[in-house]
Structure 1
Amino acid sequence: MSDSNRTIGVGRTALFVGASRGLGLGLVQQHLARGWKVIATVRKPSDALHALSAEAGDSLVIETLDMNEPAQLEALADRLGSTRLDLLFVNAGVAHDPSQTIGSVSDEQFFHILRTNTLSPMRVVERLEGLVPSPGTIAVMSSSLGSVAMNETGGYETYRASKAALDTLLRSVAARRKDSRRTFLAVDPGWVRTDMGGPGANLDVETSTSGVTGMLEARRGTPGVFFVTYANKELPW
Protein backbone atom coordinates (compact mmCIF):
# COMPACT_ATOMS: atom_id res chain seq x y z
CA MET A 1 0.00 0.00 0.00
CA SER A 2 1.36 3.44 -0.94
CA ASP A 3 2.23 6.09 1.64
CA SER A 4 -0.61 8.26 0.30
CA ASN A 5 -3.10 5.47 1.01
CA ARG A 6 -1.71 5.08 4.51
CA THR A 7 -2.37 8.74 5.32
CA ILE A 8 -5.60 9.36 3.40
CA GLY A 9 -7.83 8.67 6.39
CA VAL A 10 -5.80 10.49 9.05
CA GLY A 11 -8.15 12.48 11.28
CA ARG A 12 -11.24 10.53 10.21
CA THR A 13 -13.32 8.15 12.33
CA ALA A 14 -15.38 5.18 11.13
CA LEU A 15 -17.85 2.99 12.99
CA PHE A 16 -18.35 -0.53 11.63
CA VAL A 17 -21.27 -2.46 13.08
CA GLY A 18 -20.62 -6.21 12.79
CA ALA A 19 -16.84 -6.51 12.59
CA SER A 20 -15.88 -9.75 14.28
CA ARG A 21 -14.99 -11.61 11.07
CA GLY A 22 -15.37 -11.72 7.31
CA LEU A 23 -16.25 -8.49 5.53
CA GLY A 24 -16.59 -6.42 8.68
CA LEU A 25 -13.15 -7.43 9.93
CA GLY A 26 -11.70 -6.85 6.46
CA LEU A 27 -13.16 -3.33 6.32
CA VAL A 28 -11.66 -2.54 9.72
CA GLN A 29 -8.24 -3.72 8.48
CA GLN A 30 -8.51 -1.69 5.28
CA HIS A 31 -9.42 1.52 7.09
CA LEU A 32 -6.79 1.15 9.81
CA ALA A 33 -4.18 0.67 7.08
CA ARG A 34 -5.30 3.97 5.57
CA GLY A 35 -4.89 5.90 8.78
CA TRP A 36 -8.48 5.97 10.07
CA LYS A 37 -9.51 5.70 13.69
CA VAL A 38 -11.98 2.81 13.83
CA ILE A 39 -14.74 1.86 16.25
CA ALA A 40 -15.80 -1.76 15.64
CA THR A 41 -18.73 -3.59 17.21
CA VAL A 42 -19.06 -7.30 17.99
CA ARG A 43 -21.79 -9.39 19.56
CA LYS A 44 -19.25 -11.58 21.35
CA PRO A 45 -15.44 -11.52 21.70
CA SER A 46 -13.51 -11.91 18.45
CA ASP A 47 -9.97 -13.30 18.66
CA ALA A 48 -9.10 -11.86 15.24
CA LEU A 49 -10.35 -8.36 16.08
CA HIS A 50 -8.70 -8.32 19.48
CA ALA A 51 -5.41 -9.41 17.91
CA LEU A 52 -5.77 -6.52 15.48
CA SER A 53 -6.45 -4.20 18.41
CA ALA A 54 -3.13 -5.16 19.99
CA GLU A 55 -1.39 -3.93 16.83
CA ALA A 56 -3.54 -0.85 16.22
CA GLY A 57 -3.44 0.56 19.75
CA ASP A 58 -5.60 3.65 20.24
CA SER A 59 -6.63 3.61 16.57
CA LEU A 60 -9.09 0.77 17.21
CA VAL A 61 -11.85 0.76 19.81
CA ILE A 62 -13.97 -2.39 20.21
CA GLU A 63 -17.54 -2.08 21.43
CA THR A 64 -20.12 -4.77 22.21
CA LEU A 65 -23.44 -4.56 20.38
CA ASP A 66 -26.19 -7.00 19.53
CA MET A 67 -28.18 -4.68 17.29
CA ASN A 68 -31.29 -6.83 17.79
CA GLU A 69 -31.32 -5.66 21.41
CA PRO A 70 -32.56 -2.03 21.54
CA ALA A 71 -31.14 -1.52 25.03
CA GLN A 72 -27.66 -2.35 23.77
CA LEU A 73 -28.00 0.16 20.94
CA GLU A 74 -29.05 2.84 23.42
CA ALA A 75 -26.08 1.96 25.64
CA LEU A 76 -23.70 2.23 22.67
CA ALA A 77 -25.18 5.61 21.71
CA ASP A 78 -24.62 6.81 25.27
CA ARG A 79 -20.99 5.63 25.22
CA LEU A 80 -20.35 7.30 21.88
CA GLY A 81 -21.74 10.58 23.21
CA SER A 82 -20.90 13.36 20.75
CA THR A 83 -18.29 11.36 18.82
CA ARG A 84 -18.02 12.64 15.24
CA LEU A 85 -18.25 9.88 12.64
CA ASP A 86 -17.06 10.43 9.09
CA LEU A 87 -18.38 6.98 8.19
CA LEU A 88 -21.14 4.84 9.71
CA PHE A 89 -21.24 1.40 8.08
CA VAL A 90 -23.72 -1.26 9.21
CA ASN A 91 -22.40 -4.60 8.02
CA ALA A 92 -24.14 -7.09 10.32
CA GLY A 93 -26.65 -9.56 8.88
CA VAL A 94 -27.55 -13.22 8.41
CA ALA A 95 -27.91 -15.60 5.46
CA HIS A 96 -30.77 -17.94 4.60
CA ASP A 97 -31.29 -21.30 2.89
CA PRO A 98 -31.42 -20.34 -0.82
CA SER A 99 -33.82 -23.14 -1.70
CA GLN A 100 -36.45 -22.23 0.90
CA THR A 101 -39.45 -20.45 -0.60
CA ILE A 102 -41.62 -17.85 1.04
CA GLY A 103 -44.32 -20.50 1.30
CA SER A 104 -42.12 -22.85 3.33
CA VAL A 105 -40.24 -20.49 5.64
CA SER A 106 -41.49 -20.46 9.20
CA ASP A 107 -42.77 -17.29 10.82
CA GLU A 108 -39.89 -17.43 13.30
CA GLN A 109 -37.25 -17.69 10.56
CA PHE A 110 -38.84 -14.96 8.47
CA PHE A 111 -39.11 -12.51 11.35
CA HIS A 112 -35.53 -13.23 12.48
CA ILE A 113 -34.10 -12.56 9.01
CA LEU A 114 -36.15 -9.40 8.49
CA ARG A 115 -35.26 -8.16 11.94
CA THR A 116 -31.53 -8.84 11.55
CA ASN A 117 -31.11 -7.78 7.91
CA THR A 118 -33.60 -4.91 7.74
CA LEU A 119 -35.14 -3.53 10.91
CA SER A 120 -32.13 -3.57 13.21
CA PRO A 121 -29.61 -2.12 10.71
CA MET A 122 -31.98 0.75 9.96
CA ARG A 123 -32.58 1.35 13.65
CA VAL A 124 -28.81 1.71 14.02
CA VAL A 125 -28.80 4.23 11.17
CA GLU A 126 -31.70 6.20 12.64
CA ARG A 127 -30.19 6.23 16.13
CA LEU A 128 -26.61 7.12 15.17
CA GLU A 129 -27.00 9.22 12.03
CA GLY A 130 -26.79 12.40 14.11
CA LEU A 131 -23.11 11.60 14.75
CA VAL A 132 -22.42 11.80 11.00
CA PRO A 133 -22.24 15.44 9.94
CA SER A 134 -22.24 16.54 6.32
CA PRO A 135 -20.48 15.51 4.16
CA GLY A 136 -20.14 12.17 5.95
CA THR A 137 -21.16 8.74 4.67
CA ILE A 138 -23.81 6.33 5.93
CA ALA A 139 -23.66 2.85 4.41
CA VAL A 140 -25.42 -0.48 4.82
CA MET A 141 -24.24 -3.84 3.53
CA SER A 142 -26.74 -4.90 0.91
CA SER A 143 -26.46 -7.37 -1.97
CA SER A 144 -27.20 -7.48 -5.68
CA LEU A 145 -29.82 -10.07 -4.64
CA GLY A 146 -31.72 -7.15 -3.13
CA SER A 147 -32.25 -5.58 -6.56
CA VAL A 148 -35.90 -5.98 -7.57
CA ALA A 149 -35.08 -5.11 -11.18
CA MET A 150 -32.35 -7.78 -11.42
CA ASN A 151 -34.38 -10.63 -9.91
CA GLU A 152 -34.88 -12.85 -12.94
CA THR A 153 -33.79 -16.20 -11.48
CA GLY A 154 -35.58 -16.39 -8.12
CA GLY A 155 -34.07 -18.24 -5.18
CA TYR A 156 -32.91 -16.77 -1.88
CA GLU A 157 -36.44 -15.46 -1.50
CA THR A 158 -36.44 -14.33 2.12
CA TYR A 159 -32.86 -13.02 1.91
CA ARG A 160 -33.72 -11.07 -1.26
CA ALA A 161 -36.78 -9.61 0.44
CA SER A 162 -34.77 -8.55 3.49
CA LYS A 163 -32.16 -6.75 1.40
CA ALA A 164 -34.73 -5.14 -0.91
CA ALA A 165 -36.52 -3.83 2.18
CA LEU A 166 -33.22 -2.59 3.61
CA ASP A 167 -32.50 -0.67 0.40
CA THR A 168 -36.00 0.82 0.35
CA LEU A 169 -35.73 2.01 3.93
CA LEU A 170 -32.32 3.54 3.29
CA ARG A 171 -33.84 5.46 0.39
CA SER A 172 -36.64 6.59 2.67
CA VAL A 173 -34.17 7.92 5.24
CA ALA A 174 -32.24 9.70 2.49
CA ALA A 175 -35.49 11.18 1.14
CA ARG A 176 -36.30 12.57 4.58
CA ARG A 177 -32.83 14.11 4.61
CA LYS A 178 -32.95 15.48 1.07
CA ASP A 179 -31.32 18.74 2.15
CA SER A 180 -28.42 16.86 3.72
CA ARG A 181 -25.00 16.75 2.09
CA ARG A 182 -24.41 13.22 3.35
CA THR A 183 -23.73 10.23 1.09
CA PHE A 184 -26.07 7.24 1.61
CA LEU A 185 -24.90 3.92 0.17
CA ALA A 186 -26.40 0.45 -0.19
CA VAL A 187 -23.30 -1.64 -0.85
CA ASP A 188 -23.01 -4.89 -2.81
CA PRO A 189 -19.68 -6.47 -1.76
CA GLY A 190 -19.84 -9.14 -4.46
CA TRP A 191 -19.95 -12.87 -3.84
CA VAL A 192 -17.25 -13.32 -1.21
CA ARG A 193 -15.65 -16.37 0.39
CA THR A 194 -16.90 -15.84 3.94
CA ASP A 195 -18.97 -18.00 6.29
CA MET A 196 -22.03 -16.46 4.65
CA GLY A 197 -20.81 -16.56 1.03
CA GLY A 198 -19.34 -20.05 1.23
CA PRO A 199 -16.13 -21.57 -0.22
CA GLY A 200 -17.38 -21.45 -3.82
CA ALA A 201 -17.60 -17.65 -4.01
CA ASN A 202 -15.49 -15.89 -6.61
CA LEU A 203 -13.97 -13.13 -4.44
CA ASP A 204 -11.71 -13.21 -1.42
CA VAL A 205 -12.28 -10.86 1.50
CA GLU A 206 -9.28 -8.65 0.71
CA THR A 207 -10.36 -8.05 -2.89
CA SER A 208 -13.92 -7.18 -1.86
CA THR A 209 -13.06 -4.97 1.12
CA SER A 210 -10.26 -3.19 -0.72
CA GLY A 211 -12.75 -2.43 -3.49
CA VAL A 212 -15.43 -1.28 -1.05
CA THR A 213 -12.92 0.98 0.72
CA GLY A 214 -11.85 2.55 -2.56
CA MET A 215 -15.48 3.02 -3.57
CA LEU A 216 -16.27 4.72 -0.25
CA GLU A 217 -13.42 7.14 -0.80
CA ALA A 218 -14.47 7.84 -4.39
CA ARG A 219 -18.08 8.52 -3.32
CA ARG A 220 -17.15 10.63 -0.30
CA GLY A 221 -18.66 14.10 -0.52
CA THR A 222 -21.19 13.09 -3.19
CA PRO A 223 -24.64 13.78 -1.70
CA GLY A 224 -27.52 11.46 -2.45
CA VAL A 225 -28.40 7.78 -2.17
CA PHE A 226 -26.78 5.11 -4.34
CA PHE A 227 -26.84 1.32 -4.79
CA VAL A 228 -23.25 0.41 -5.69
CA THR A 229 -20.92 -2.57 -5.98
CA TYR A 230 -17.48 -3.01 -4.45
CA ALA A 231 -16.15 -1.99 -7.89
CA ASN A 232 -18.09 1.32 -7.71
CA LYS A 233 -20.66 0.35 -10.33
CA GLU A 234 -24.24 1.47 -9.77
CA LEU A 235 -26.96 -1.18 -9.64
CA PRO A 236 -30.66 -0.84 -10.48
CA TRP A 237 -32.87 -0.75 -7.42
Structure 2
Amino acid sequence: MTTLTLITGANRGIGLEFCRQSLAHGDTVIACCRQPEQADALQQLALSHPNQLELVALELGEPAQFDNLCAYLGERKLDRLICNAGVYGPKGLPLGEYQADHFEQVMKINVTAPMLLVQALHPHLAGDAKVALLSSKMGSITDNGSGGSYVYRASKAALNAIGKSLAIDLQPQGTSVVLFHPGWVQTAMGGSNALITPEVSVRGMRHVLEQLSLIDSGKFINYDGVELPW
Protein backbone atom coordinates (compact mmCIF):
# COMPACT_ATOMS: atom_id res chain seq x y z
CA MET A 1 0.00 0.00 0.00
CA THR A 2 1.35 3.44 -0.94
CA THR A 3 2.53 5.71 1.86
CA LEU A 4 0.93 9.17 1.86
CA THR A 5 3.39 11.81 3.09
CA LEU A 6 2.73 15.51 3.66
CA ILE A 7 5.73 17.85 3.88
CA THR A 8 5.78 21.55 4.78
CA GLY A 9 8.49 23.92 3.57
CA ALA A 10 8.88 21.61 0.61
CA ASN A 11 10.28 24.11 -1.87
CA ARG A 12 13.94 24.00 -0.82
CA GLY A 13 16.58 22.58 1.49
CA ILE A 14 15.57 19.78 3.83
CA GLY A 15 11.92 19.86 2.80
CA LEU A 16 12.78 19.49 -0.88
CA GLU A 17 15.13 16.61 -0.08
CA PHE A 18 12.38 14.92 1.94
CA CYS A 19 10.26 15.16 -1.21
CA ARG A 20 12.97 13.65 -3.40
CA GLN A 21 13.70 10.73 -1.10
CA SER A 22 10.04 10.04 -0.33
CA LEU A 23 9.23 9.97 -4.05
CA ALA A 24 12.19 7.66 -4.70
CA HIS A 25 10.82 5.36 -2.01
CA GLY A 26 7.46 5.23 -3.82
CA ASP A 27 5.45 7.52 -1.54
CA THR A 28 2.66 9.74 -2.71
CA VAL A 29 3.80 13.18 -1.56
CA ILE A 30 1.79 16.29 -0.80
CA ALA A 31 4.36 19.09 -0.96
CA CYS A 32 3.29 22.31 0.76
CA CYS A 33 4.87 25.74 0.46
CA ARG A 34 3.74 29.33 0.10
CA GLN A 35 4.10 29.68 -3.67
CA PRO A 36 4.49 26.30 -5.39
CA GLU A 37 4.08 27.91 -8.80
CA GLN A 38 7.40 29.72 -8.19
CA ALA A 39 9.21 26.67 -6.77
CA ASP A 40 11.21 25.59 -9.82
CA ALA A 41 12.74 22.47 -8.25
CA LEU A 42 9.34 21.26 -7.06
CA GLN A 43 7.85 21.93 -10.47
CA GLN A 44 10.55 19.79 -12.06
CA LEU A 45 9.85 16.99 -9.59
CA ALA A 46 6.16 17.22 -10.40
CA LEU A 47 6.90 16.83 -14.11
CA SER A 48 8.95 13.70 -13.48
CA HIS A 49 6.49 12.25 -10.90
CA PRO A 50 3.06 13.33 -12.24
CA ASN A 51 1.14 10.62 -10.38
CA GLN A 52 3.06 10.84 -7.11
CA LEU A 53 3.63 14.49 -6.28
CA GLU A 54 0.88 16.98 -5.42
CA LEU A 55 1.78 20.65 -4.94
CA VAL A 56 -0.34 22.60 -2.49
CA ALA A 57 -0.10 26.29 -1.59
CA LEU A 58 0.01 26.73 2.18
CA GLU A 59 0.88 29.82 4.21
CA LEU A 60 1.75 28.52 7.67
CA GLY A 61 1.30 31.97 9.15
CA GLU A 62 -2.39 31.81 8.19
CA PRO A 63 -3.94 28.97 10.23
CA ALA A 64 -7.31 29.51 8.55
CA GLN A 65 -5.74 27.82 5.51
CA PHE A 66 -5.41 24.58 7.45
CA ASP A 67 -9.14 23.96 7.02
CA ASN A 68 -8.64 24.16 3.26
CA LEU A 69 -5.83 21.63 3.51
CA CYS A 70 -8.10 19.25 5.43
CA ALA A 71 -10.77 19.68 2.77
CA TYR A 72 -8.16 18.95 0.09
CA LEU A 73 -7.26 15.67 1.82
CA GLY A 74 -10.87 14.60 1.97
CA GLU A 75 -11.10 11.02 3.20
CA ARG A 76 -7.43 10.26 2.65
CA LYS A 77 -5.27 9.41 5.66
CA LEU A 78 -1.69 10.60 6.13
CA ASP A 79 0.97 8.04 6.99
CA ARG A 80 3.72 10.64 7.45
CA LEU A 81 3.54 14.30 8.42
CA ILE A 82 6.84 16.17 8.14
CA CYS A 83 6.64 19.62 9.78
CA ASN A 84 9.80 21.03 8.30
CA ALA A 85 9.15 24.72 7.60
CA GLY A 86 10.91 27.15 9.91
CA VAL A 87 12.64 30.50 10.14
CA TYR A 88 15.68 31.65 12.12
CA GLY A 89 14.94 35.28 12.83
CA PRO A 90 17.58 37.91 13.64
CA LYS A 91 21.17 36.68 13.78
CA GLY A 92 24.02 38.10 15.80
CA LEU A 93 22.03 40.51 17.95
CA PRO A 94 23.69 41.25 21.29
CA LEU A 95 21.70 41.33 24.51
CA GLY A 96 20.20 44.79 24.74
CA GLU A 97 19.04 45.02 21.12
CA TYR A 98 16.18 42.51 21.06
CA GLN A 99 12.67 43.77 20.41
CA ALA A 100 9.30 42.10 20.85
CA ASP A 101 8.65 42.01 17.12
CA HIS A 102 11.81 39.92 16.62
CA PHE A 103 9.96 37.09 18.35
CA GLU A 104 6.54 37.40 16.76
CA GLN A 105 7.10 35.95 13.28
CA VAL A 106 9.57 33.28 14.43
CA MET A 107 7.24 32.00 17.13
CA LYS A 108 4.30 32.09 14.71
CA ILE A 109 6.07 29.89 12.14
CA ASN A 110 8.24 27.69 14.37
CA VAL A 111 5.83 27.08 17.26
CA THR A 112 2.22 28.10 16.68
CA ALA A 113 2.00 26.87 13.07
CA PRO A 114 3.20 23.27 13.58
CA MET A 115 1.06 22.88 16.70
CA LEU A 116 -2.10 24.13 14.96
CA LEU A 117 -1.28 22.15 11.81
CA VAL A 118 -1.00 18.87 13.71
CA GLN A 119 -4.16 19.77 15.62
CA ALA A 120 -6.01 20.34 12.35
CA LEU A 121 -4.66 17.24 10.66
CA HIS A 122 -4.82 14.73 13.49
CA PRO A 123 -8.23 13.38 12.36
CA HIS A 124 -6.56 12.76 8.98
CA LEU A 125 -3.71 10.67 10.40
CA ALA A 126 -3.64 6.95 9.71
CA GLY A 127 -3.78 4.54 12.64
CA ASP A 128 -0.01 4.08 12.74
CA ALA A 129 0.98 7.50 11.41
CA LYS A 130 4.31 9.12 12.21
CA VAL A 131 4.77 12.84 12.79
CA ALA A 132 8.18 14.51 12.53
CA LEU A 133 8.71 17.99 13.96
CA LEU A 134 11.99 19.52 12.85
CA SER A 135 13.55 21.08 15.89
CA SER A 136 17.20 21.89 16.61
CA LYS A 137 19.87 21.23 19.22
CA MET A 138 19.70 24.98 19.75
CA GLY A 139 16.42 24.27 21.52
CA SER A 140 18.23 22.08 24.05
CA ILE A 141 18.66 23.83 27.38
CA THR A 142 21.24 21.26 28.49
CA ASP A 143 23.30 21.77 25.34
CA ASN A 144 23.33 25.57 25.50
CA GLY A 145 26.93 26.47 26.29
CA SER A 146 27.26 29.63 24.23
CA GLY A 147 24.19 31.77 25.00
CA GLY A 148 22.68 34.22 22.54
CA SER A 149 20.31 33.35 19.68
CA TYR A 150 17.41 34.02 22.04
CA VAL A 151 14.65 33.98 19.46
CA TYR A 152 15.56 30.78 17.64
CA ARG A 153 16.51 28.92 20.82
CA ALA A 154 13.23 29.90 22.48
CA SER A 155 11.18 28.79 19.46
CA LYS A 156 12.78 25.37 19.27
CA ALA A 157 12.59 24.79 23.03
CA ALA A 158 8.87 25.61 22.81
CA LEU A 159 8.46 23.26 19.85
CA ASN A 160 10.10 20.49 21.88
CA ALA A 161 7.55 20.99 24.65
CA ILE A 162 4.72 20.89 22.13
CA GLY A 163 6.06 17.74 20.51
CA LYS A 164 6.29 15.96 23.85
CA SER A 165 2.66 16.79 24.65
CA LEU A 166 1.54 15.77 21.16
CA ALA A 167 3.24 12.41 21.61
CA ILE A 168 1.22 11.81 24.76
CA ASP A 169 -2.09 13.06 23.36
CA LEU A 170 -1.79 11.21 20.03
CA GLN A 171 -0.62 7.93 21.55
CA PRO A 172 -4.18 6.54 21.97
CA GLN A 173 -4.77 6.76 18.20
CA GLY A 174 -1.47 5.02 17.47
CA THR A 175 0.43 8.06 16.17
CA SER A 176 4.15 8.35 16.96
CA VAL A 177 5.84 11.76 17.22
CA VAL A 178 9.55 12.53 16.95
CA LEU A 179 11.46 15.79 17.42
CA PHE A 180 14.45 15.93 15.10
CA HIS A 181 17.72 17.78 15.14
CA PRO A 182 18.52 17.54 11.42
CA GLY A 183 22.19 18.37 11.96
CA TRP A 184 24.05 21.40 10.69
CA VAL A 185 22.90 21.17 7.09
CA GLN A 186 24.07 22.94 3.94
CA THR A 187 20.90 24.93 3.28
CA ALA A 188 19.99 28.61 2.98
CA MET A 189 19.63 28.66 6.78
CA GLY A 190 22.62 26.49 7.61
CA GLY A 191 25.02 28.09 5.15
CA SER A 192 27.69 26.66 2.90
CA ASN A 193 30.05 25.85 5.78
CA ALA A 194 27.60 23.42 7.37
CA LEU A 195 28.84 19.91 8.04
CA ILE A 196 26.38 17.71 6.15
CA THR A 197 24.28 17.77 3.00
CA PRO A 198 20.48 17.66 2.97
CA GLU A 199 20.74 14.18 1.41
CA VAL A 200 22.67 12.82 4.42
CA SER A 201 20.40 14.53 6.93
CA VAL A 202 17.17 13.34 5.36
CA ARG A 203 18.42 9.81 4.76
CA GLY A 204 19.19 9.56 8.48
CA MET A 205 15.86 11.02 9.58
CA ARG A 206 13.92 8.76 7.22
CA HIS A 207 15.70 5.74 8.72
CA VAL A 208 14.72 6.88 12.22
CA LEU A 209 11.13 7.36 11.08
CA GLU A 210 10.99 3.88 9.58
CA GLN A 211 12.04 2.41 12.93
CA LEU A 212 9.93 4.76 15.08
CA SER A 213 7.29 3.20 17.32
CA LEU A 214 5.11 4.33 20.18
CA ILE A 215 7.86 3.26 22.58
CA ASP A 216 10.11 6.01 21.23
CA SER A 217 7.36 8.58 20.64
CA GLY A 218 8.11 12.00 22.08
CA LYS A 219 11.88 11.67 22.01
CA PHE A 220 14.34 14.35 20.83
CA ILE A 221 16.60 12.59 18.32
CA ASN A 222 19.58 13.52 16.17
CA TYR A 223 19.34 12.78 12.45
CA ASP A 224 21.65 9.80 13.00
CA GLY A 225 19.39 8.22 15.61
CA VAL A 226 21.17 9.38 18.77
CA GLU A 227 18.81 10.63 21.49
CA LEU A 228 19.49 14.20 22.59
CA PRO A 229 19.17 15.92 25.97
CA TRP A 230 16.37 18.39 26.56
Q: TM-score when scaled to structure 2?
A: 0.94
Q: How many angstroms apart in 1 are the aligned matches of 2:76 and 2:114? A: 19
2:30 counterpart of 1:39: yes
Q: Flag the 1:205–1:111 CA change in 2: closer, same or farther, 3 A.
A: same
Mapped contact 1:180–1:223 kept (Cα < 8 A)? no
1:16 match: 7
Q: Flag the 1:102–1:163 CA change in 2: closer, same or farther, 3 A.
A: farther
Q: How many angstroms apart in 1 are the aligned matches of 2:18 and 2:88? A: 19
Q: How many angstroms apart in 2 are the aligned matches of 1:43 and 1:178? A: 31
Letter of the structure 2 residue corresponding to residue 207 of structure 1: V
Query: Would you say how many aligned residue pairs link Structure 1 and Structure 2?
Result: 228
1:96 match: 89
Structure 1 residue 101 displacement after superposition: 4.6
1:141 match: 134
Deviation sequence 1:116-165 (CA, Å, 0-9, x none): 11111111111112211221101111011111121122122210100000
Q: How many angstroms apart in 1 are the aligned matches of 2:202 and 2:121? A: 23
Q: How many angstroms apart in 2 are the aligned matches of 1:99 and 1:203? A: 23
Q: How many angstroms apart in 1 are the aligned matches of 2:217 and 2:5? A: 19
1:25 match: 16
Give unpaired runs (5+ residues) of structure 2.
none
The range that moved more, 218-227 or 192-201, is 218-227
Give unpaired runs (5+ residues) of structure 1.
1-9
2:110 match: 117
2:179 counterpart of 1:186: yes
C-alpha RMSD of the superposition: 1.6
Mapped contact 1:181–1:222 kept (Cα < 8 A)? no
Structure 1 residue 57 displacement after superposition: 1.3
Q: How many angstroms apart in 1 are the aligned matches of 2:168 and 2:214? A: 17
Mapped contact 1:132–1:138 kept (Cα < 8 A)? no
Letter of the structure 1 residue corresponding to residue 144 of structure 2: N
2:154 counterpart of 1:161: yes
Deviation sequence 1:45-96 (CA, Å, 0-9, x none): 3000010010011111010000111222221111112211110111011013
Q: Flag the 1:56–1:236 CA change in 2: closer, same or farther, 3 A.
A: same
2:47 counterpart of 1:54: yes
Q: How many angstroms apart in 2 are the aligned matches of 1:96 and 1:72? A: 23
2:207 counterpart of 1:214: yes
Q: How many angstroms apart in 2 are the aligned matches of 1:178 and 1:32? A: 28
72, 75, 80: which one pairs with 1:82? 75
Taking only the aligned residue pairs, the percentage that are identical comes to 35
Mapped contact 1:136–1:220 kept (Cα < 8 A)? no
Q: How many angstroms apart in 2 are the aligned matches of 1:222 and 1:32? A: 28
Q: How many angstroms apart in 2 are the aligned matches of 1:59 and 1:11? A: 10
Which runs of at least 4 in structure 1 moved beyond 4 Å after TM superposition? Answer: 220-223
Q: How many angstroms apart in 2 are the aligned matches of 1:97 and 1:42? A: 22
Q: How many angstroms apart in 2 are the aligned matches of 1:100 and 1:193? A: 23
